[in-house]
Chain A
Amino acid sequence: MVRDITLGQFMPGTSVIHKLQARTKIVLLITLIVFIFLCKNFISLLLITLFSLSVIMMTRISFFKYLKSLRVILFIIIITGLFNLFYGSGDVLWQWWQLTITTGGVYNALFVIVRIALLMMVSAVLTYTTSPTDLTDGLERLMKPLTIFHVKVHEIAMMMTIALRFIPVLLEETDKIMNAQKARGADMESGGIIKRVKALIPVLIPLFVSSFRRASDLAMAMECRCYNGGSGRTKLKVSRFGLADLFAAVISLSIFAGVIILNILFPAVL
């Protein structure tokens, strides 16, 4: 059923990682991902893997949940892994018909799998430990400098907030409308692609109509509460950088520096 889809997998908690500023987490996450892809040998890859895993441990969320985040892309991991396995140069390890596995291929495959898996899991650290509102707020503040280029940062953030708020509402509504049409004999489960697309019309039109109605209601409600864009607004929660954020930044930066040094000290395998 549609209503089973859960959006934003935020898991409330009190860990050090939970308490970090959303801005800190976003910036460090992006840098971490860049460095995951900058690792050129197994030693630097090992360093960044250990670092990522310790961050994951620090969130005090069961590791199983992180493995679950991989499930969605398991297929992609396997395919790219296999593809890389058979694609590469170096000593031939195994050969059959057109397929050859080389040492280079094995290295490639290992790197790709570890990188994609790490990428997913550290991204999950951000979404698991940061509430959607904190996340939007963090993005809004990070993008603030863009206002000088006339980017409507506040408006974008407000749109994200409203979207996050209304996605579950609209999913539930979709479910209701689908049931109502099914009760009138609408057949949405069989037939070819064209028939199925056509079968969606009785669901999509009422959904659009109701979304517009909701939008106009919401606009009125916001007006009633004196909404006037971003200027002169204050915030219930003003987050300030704390010591924890500083520590997080220092530790991460030293790890990143370590990666660069290890990349220079040891020969690249790729």
Chain B
Amino acid sequence: MSVIRAENISFVYSPGTAFEKTALDDVSFEIEEGEFVGIIGHTGSGKSTLVQLVNGLLRPTKGRIFLEDKDIWEKPKKIRNVRFRVGMVFQYPEYQLFEETVYKDISFGPRNMGLEEEEIDKRVRKAAAFTGLRDELLNVSPFDLSGGEKRRAAIAGVIAMDPDVLILDEPTAGLDPLGREVLLSQINDYHKIRKNTVMLVSHSMEDIASIADRILVMAKGRKYMLDSTANVFSNGDELEKLGLRVPQITKIMMMLRKNGMNVDPAVLTIDQGFNEILKCLSGK
């Protein structure tokens, strides 16, 4: 059974005014339980609008979104419950920190869910562990953390709600390479252990290639394609026409192939690429 299903959803910002803008135009897709889906697209392709529709922060102008076969807007008053089940980490999430201590900030979501104190405590500690926040950091002010720690505390605040679907919008933006790598592997570990569904919006094709099962490509408010990661990146020329890049290693493979080397261009990581080239060289 699909966990998220979108049926012909469209979204128009400020309808009826001079600023009217169609951000999303007749998009349908299905996401299976436990999948890791990457979402790529240009700025303005509608990907941020799309994820906000999925967790019920925006209501589609047209079309319907189903969470486990139930229309999420069936009871608009209960939309908060959808937001608890579909957790959303925004871009630069550290700008949402506000409590006196990291512990209190992470517990904001679970507390809004009306959980027991004991359960809240369990979840806060678990979420902090997932994101690699040391215990002694839980009692300091979130504003005293370093940039990377703030980011992780904010993500923990969403993970603590234990959502069935976790959406992350550019979680690594602005981090240095080391910070990106660590955060991505934490997200991946969390996904593997919790076995939930993750949707990751990112500009970094290297990040997406290394982690996603499938990729949803958005262009001009429409779904361009939704396919396995290898298939999407083997369409390198098409992606480049959309102004999107492919991972550097995939690009190298494409170039090698163009120059007559018999390698498979659907290579996503450096190790795969390394082996592929070795295979090709020894074969000759």
The chain A residues found within 8 Å of chain B, CB to CB, are: 1, 4, 173, 176-177, 179-187, 201-202, 205-206, 209-210
Complex A-B: 9 CB contacts under 8 Å: A4-B17, A179-B57, A179-B90, A181-B96, A183-B55, A186-B108, A202-B96, A206-B97, A209-B98
Do the beta carbons of B157 and A184 come within 8 Å of each other? yes
CA A176 to CA B95, docked complex, whole Å: 9
Interface residues of B in 64-104 (CB under 8 A from A): 80, 83-84, 87-88, 90, 93, 95-98
CA A179 to CA B98, docked complex, whole Å: 14
Instruction: Given the known inter-chain contacts A176-B95, A206-B98, please indicate yes or no for A185 contacting B113, CB distance below 8 A.
Output: yes
Do the beta carbons of A185 and B112 come within 8 Å of each other? yes
Instruction: Given the known inter-chain contacts A179-B57, A183-B57, please indicate yes or no for A205 contacting B98, CB distance below 8 A.
Output: yes
Do the beta carbons of A202 and B108 come within 8 Å of each other? yes
Query: Which chain B residues lie closer than 8 Å to A184 at the CB level?
Result: 83, 96, 108-109, 112, 157-158, 161
CA A185 to CA B84, docked complex, whole Å: 7
- Choose among A4, A184, A209 the residue with the greatest number of B CB atoms under 10 Å from its CB: A184
Do the beta carbons of B57 and A182 come within 8 Å of each other? yes
Instruction: Given the known inter-chain contacts A185-B109, A187-B112, please indicate yes or no for A180 contacting B98, CB distance below 8 A.
Output: no
Do the beta carbons of B98 and A183 come within 8 Å of each other? no
Query: Which chain B residues lie closer than 8 Å to A181 at the CB level?
Result: 96, 108
Nearest-Cβ distance from residue A220 to partner chain B, whole angstroms: 18
Query: Which chain B residues lie closer than 8 Å to A179 at the CB level?
Result: 52, 57, 90
Answer yes or no: B146 CB below 8 A from chain A CBs. Answer: no
Nearest-Cβ distance from residue A210 to partner chain B, whole angstroms: 6
Query: Which chain B residues lie closer than 8 Å to A186 at the CB level?
Result: 108, 112
- B137-150 interface mask toward A, CB cutoff 8 Å, 1 = contact, 0 = none? 00000010000000
Nearest-Cβ distance from residue B22 to partner chain A, whole angstroms: 16
The 9 closest A-B pairs by CB, nearest first: A185-B112, A205-B98, A180-B96, A184-B109, A183-B88, A180-B90, A202-B98, A206-B98, A179-B57
Query: Which chain A residues lie closer than 8 Å to B157 at the CB level?
Result: 184
Instruction: Given the known inter-chain contacts A183-B57, A183-B90, A185-B83, please indicate yes or no for A210 contacting B95, CB distance below 8 A.
Output: yes
Query: Which chain A residues lie closer than 8 Å to B98 at the CB level?
Result: 201-202, 205-206, 209
A4 interface neighbour in B14, B52, B87, Cβ under 8 Å: B14
Do the beta carbons of B112 and A176 come within 8 Å of each other? no
CA A209 to CA B158, docked complex, whole Å: 21
Do the beta carbons of B112 and A180 come within 8 Å of each other? no
Nearest-Cβ distance from residue B192 to partner chain A, whole angstroms: 24
Query: Which chain A residues lie closer than 8 Å to B113 at the CB level?
Result: 185
CA A268 to CA B112, docked complex, whole Å: 65
